[in-house]
Amino acid sequence: MTIDEKLMTGIRNREKQALSDLYDRYHRIIWNIARQSETDCSVCEQLVTHVFRAVWAKPQDFIQNRKLLMLLIDCCRSRSAATIKKN
């Protein structure tokens, strides 16, 4: 079992430490993805927060045959695109 699989199992079991560990593992990458489309740091923070809230709310959406990181990036980019359309 990979680290990501262990973390997602923990999140499915509602273990807050697993979410914290996932955040520590990927938040910088997600931040950098957000910065590619947003210059406002507060918007980037909101995007990062959205991604990890989405993981906590619906972990099943992040357990697929694709790498977890790619799913996190997709979540960030889709939310970013929706934010840009609003403005």
Domains in the chain: boundaries: 3-86
For residue 20, what pLDDT is reported? Answer: 98
For residue 82, what pLDDT is reported? Answer: 72
Q: How far is CA 74 from CA 55, 59, 70, in A?
A: 12, 14, 6
Exposure of 57 by Cβ count < 10 A (0-12 exposed, 13-18 middle, 19+ buried)? exposed
Residues in the chain predicted with pLDDT less than 70, given as ranges, are 83-87
How far apart (Å, rounded) are the C-alpha atoms in residues 82 and 6? 31
Q: Under CATH, what is the fold of the domain 3-86?
A: Rna Polymerase Sigma Factor; Chain: A (1.10.1740)
For residue 87, what pLDDT is reported? Answer: 53
For residue 85, what pLDDT is reported? Answer: 53
pTM: 0.88
